[in-house]
Amino acid sequence: MYTALILFILAGSIICLGGIYYKRSIVLGILVPGAMLLIIIAFLSTAVLPYMEKIPATDKGVPYSERALLGRQIYVREGCWYCHTQQVRPIRTDAGLGNVSQPGDYQYDYPHVLGTERTGPDLSHLGGKYEDDWHRNHLMNPRPKTPEEEGMAGKVKGSVMPPFSYLSREETEALVTYLQSLR
Ligand code: HEC
C-alpha cells in the first residue's frame, strides 16, 4: 500500500516538474499537483490516520481461551452469524440488549461476526445467561425450547434454529465455552 503511494508521488512529481520547467503548462503545473494533493489527503485521512488511531480497551475486548477460540471457529463455520448478531447499537430498537458495543470490544475478533440479520436474538452479552447444559440441549435440539408464543420467528411452532446435533462432543463443548465467553 505504502509502496504504491510512494511510486504514485514520485511519478506525479516527475510529470509535474517536467511540465513546469519544460512546457510551462498550467494543466501539469497546477491541476495535476492539485489532484494529487487531494488524493494524498484523502488517503491519509481515510486509511492512515484511522489505522494509527489507538482504540481504547474495553472489559469485553479480552483474549479468548484456546477452547473458546476453537468454539469461535465453529461459530463461524456453522454460520451462526447468519441468524445472530453480536452488536448492540445506540438506537431504540436495541434498548435492553445490554451495553452498547464499542470498537474495543472486537479487538481479538477475526473474522468479525457482527452479523447483519436477527433471525435469532443478539448474542453480544449471552455469557452467563444460561447454564452450560441449557446450551448443550439447545444446540442438540432448539425446537422444543421455545414455546409458540415466545418464538422469535413469528408464529412458527418452536424455534427456526436448526439442530446442531451432528457436531462432535468436543466441538459442542468448545462452542458452549465460546458462547459463555460472550459477556
Ligand atoms: C436459521 C437461523 C439460525 C441459525 C443458523 C442459528 N440460530 Fe441460534 N437462534 C435462532 C432463533 C430463531 C433463536 C430464538 C429461539 C431459540 O431460542 O431457539 C435462536 C436462539 C439461540 C440462542 C439463545 C439465545 C438467547 O438469548 O435466548 C443461542 C445461544 C443460539 N441461538 C446459538 C446459536 C449458535 C451457536 C448457532 C450456530 C451453531 C446458531 N444459534 C445458529 C436462529 C438461528
What residue numbers bound the domain in which 13 lies? Answer: 2-52
Residue-wise over 39-69: b if at least 16 C-beta within 10 A, else e?
eeeeeeeeeeeeeeeeeeeeebbeebeebbe
129 shares a domain with 44 = no
11 CA to centre of own chain: 37
Tens of pLDDT, residue by residue, the chain (183 residues): 677 778 888 887 777 777 777 666 767 677 777 888 899 999 988 988 888 888 888 989 999 999 999 999 999 999 999 999 999 999 999 999 999 999 999 989 999 999 999 999 999 999 999 999 999 999 998 876 555 544 444 455 678 899 999 999 999 999 999 999 998
- Cell reading at 17: 516538474
Number of domains in the chain: 2
- Write down which residue in 30, 52, 74 finishes a domain: 52
Measuring from atom 41 of ligand 1, which residue has the nearest CA?
80
Q: Among positive and negative, which fits the CA dihedral 94, 97, 101, 106?
A: negative
The pTM assigned to this predicted structure is: 0.78
Query: Which residue among 161, 166, 179, 182 has the greatest number of ligand 1 atoms within 8 angstroms of its CB, and so is best to mutate?
Result: 161
Report if residue 60 sits inside a domain: no
* Cβ–ligand 1 contact at 152 (below 6 Å): yes
74 shares a domain with 14 = no
